[in-house]
Amino acid sequence: MESPLLPKYLLIVILFSHYSTTIAQYGQERDTLYALKHTFNDPFLNDNWNGLHCYENTSFWYGIQCINGRITSILLENRGLSGNPSAVSLVVLSELVTLSFKNNLVHGNIMDFCYNHKLKEIDLSENMLEGPIPPCSINLELLRSLQLQQNHLSGMIPEFNQAGLTVFNVSYNNISGPIPGTTTLRSFTADSYANNGPNMCDPLCHFSEINTPTPTESKKESIAIAFMVLEIIGLVTVILLLVLYCKRSSKFKNLIKRRHFEETSDGDGMKLVFMADDGGFELNKLMGAAAEGLGKGVCGDSYKATLNDGVAVVVKQLRGLKPLMSKEEFMKMVRMIADQKHPNLLPLMAYWCSEDVKLLVYRYAKNGNLFNRLHGGRGSRERISFKWSSRLTVARSVARALEHLHLNSNPSQCTVPHGNLKSTNILLDDDGETVLVSDYGLASSMALPVAAQHMVSYKSPEYQTWKRVSRKSDVWSYGCLLLELLTRRVSVHSAPPGISGVDLCKWVKRAFREEWIAEVFDMEISMEKNGTKGMEKLLEIALRCCDESPEKRPEMADIAAEIDAIEAVEADHGADLSAVQSLTEEGFSMHASSAIVDSSDGIS
């Protein structure tokens, strides 16, 4: 007779086996996170990733989400993480659904996803990853989003054909073609493949790979080819315009269709609309002026135009505006900009508006912008020192300009009065001392995808977390600008294209935490012993402006008043070593040898 105890023992064995397996999986996943923590060696993760990482559906670790005690999501975005995770870093995370290391400094090859069959969303964009896309990624049947843009990836695109894959981007890499002709990959626009290797084939080229078509299919193919030819013609046109731009010798009439600027029937040349009643000049004279490309900004391309009488102006050809923006909406924006009058705001000189082309004209500030003044000529004997008193003047002038914008902008029309405050938008006028803030008043008219990707206020903690900006986002941007002024390090949130930067808020806070604050101040001003108190006060203001919580940041009016109270002092050229004894010799050595951007500056 079979013992009645046997089923009970069997149940116990089964339960024990399941429990042991669960414990083992928990330990393996925790070890995986510890390995990532070791790879990144980030102070914040080192402090936060300790103890119990998952408990049922709750995670106690930053960026980690769990269900039933298993890791389902890793979200580590915009943290300046640097490291080379192992190819098998994620192998044991079999329940992983979402993975994002967006906008960090992660390098090396992409991790192997072969065993992460439940992955739905992968975002590794804006890193330094290289090598090929893992071929086994095509086996992720649940994959809905794969974003790998702005890396250094090479090789060819695997034959992704998952029906649910609706978001796909491999632009700005070194990937070669041809693009596989799968239904899924052919459903994406050229933007998903832009700026890759020279042999990258546009998705339309795959029509040539289809077998001999039927008469109906042949007709459709002919139409497709016709569209392709038109696109190629358009592409060639764009390339030619870019070549002209890069040579810095193009004239506006080569960039804008002439039909928008033809003379009126009575023979009088059309005039720009000037903000002041001082006559101005005809548009065709501006179109005929020699033009020099100044750069591509978020809000548009800027050119320096020198008229026949020697007067130099800056013309901004706006782009990235809200889709189908009407002339009335544009005029409303122009009036808002023109109404802002302050000694430290670059005034709008004139504008032009047609259906397809919208221009803003400003006077030219010949001493350049703050970014070049701060970071130009590093290591050169010809560089003129940027004194503490001059930097304080910049801080004070920008604060006053922002205070004016914040007090004189309608909150219902302009959520964030500036929106794109950064050192390249701070201009130095003819005498080099007058500071002018530019590019204000455009944020509310920009298309949200453009603003979210490029404008500084949209890099703020509140937008990254809650997808919203406010006037306090300008305050955060101002705090980042102050840190750039004090440290002479490039901010990752406002670095020009092609230049890397550092998350200055995190970097300075780390300096406080690890007690090497002496290395924060730029060598050029750290020697000015009479300015030490002022520098420390300005640093304290900057950190309050950079608070993670918008509610805790001060108002611009209070900030301007505090900075006005800081006493400006000239550099003390007689300063001896005793003035810097609080700064470690090692710190000075490290600081003096740093370039504009050093990878070691990252939060690693």
Q: What is the 3-state secondary structure (H, E, C) of 294-340?
A: EEECCCEEEEEEECCCCCEEEEEEECCECCCCCHHHHHHHHHHHHHC
Among the listed residues 409, 566, 380, the one whose alpha carbon sits nearest the alpha carbon of residue 474: 409
Please give the average per-residue pLDDT across 112-132, as a whole number: 91
Cα dihedral 406, 410, 411, 417 sign: negative
Q: What is the residue type of 381? A: R
Q: What does pTM read for this prediction?
A: 0.54
Q: What is the pLDDT of residues 533-564, one digit of tens each?
A: 999 999 999 999 999 999 999 999 999 999 99
Question: Tell me, what's the pLDDT at 22?
Answer: 54
Does residue 328 have a pLDDT over 90?
Answer: no
Q: What is the number of alpha carbons within 13 Å of residue 239 lying toward its C-beta? A: 7
Higher-confidence position of 599 and 423: 423
Question: Tell me, what's the pLDDT at 23?
Answer: 58
What topology is assigned to 20-209 in CATH? 3.80.10
Does residue 506 have a pLDDT over 60?
Answer: yes
Q: How far apart are CA 146 and CA 148, in angstroms?
A: 6
Q: Which H or E element spans position 16? A: helix 5-40
Question: Tell me, what's the pLDDT at 603?
Answer: 34
Higher-confidence position of 301 and 604: 301
Exposed / middle / buried, residue 4 (Cβ in 10 Å: 0-12, 13-18, 19+): exposed
Exposed / middle / buried, residue 446 (Cβ in 10 Å: 0-12, 13-18, 19+): buried
Q: Token pair for residue 246?
A: 């890069």
What topology is assigned to 370-601 in CATH? Transferase(Phosphotransferase); domain 1 (1.10.510)
Out of 330-339, 343-352, 479-488, the most confident range is 479-488
Among the listed residues 137, 178, 127, the one whose alpha carbon sits nearest the alpha carbon of residue 156: 178
Give yes or no for a contact between 175 and 198, defined as CB atoms under 8 angstroms apart. Answer: no
What topology is assigned to 248-363 in CATH? Phosphorylase Kinase; domain 1 (3.30.200)
Does residue 46 have a pLDDT over 90?
Answer: no
Domain assignments of the chain as residue spans, ordered by start: 20-209, 248-363, 370-601
Question: Tell me, what's the pLDDT at 214?
Answer: 47
Q: How open is the CA angle 428-430-435, to the nearest 5 degrees? A: 30
Give yes or no for a contact between 604 and 38, defined as CB atoms under 8 angstroms apart. Answer: no
* pLDDT band for position 91 (cuts 50, 70, 90): confident
Backbone angles phi, psi at 144, to 5 degrees: -115, -30
Q: Token pair for residue 108?
A: 């090396």
Q: What is the pLDDT of residues 362-406, one digit of tens each?
A: 988 888 899 999 998 776 777 888 999 999 999 999 999 999 999
Beta bridge partners of 129: 108
> Which residues contact residue 444 at a Cβ distance below 8 angstroms, ignoring those fewer than 6 apart?
333, 413, 414, 415, 416, 419
Q: How far apart are CA 489 and CA 540, in angstroms?
A: 17
- Burial pattern 215-237, b for ≥16 Cβ within 10 A else e, equals eeeeeebeeeeeebeeeeeeeee
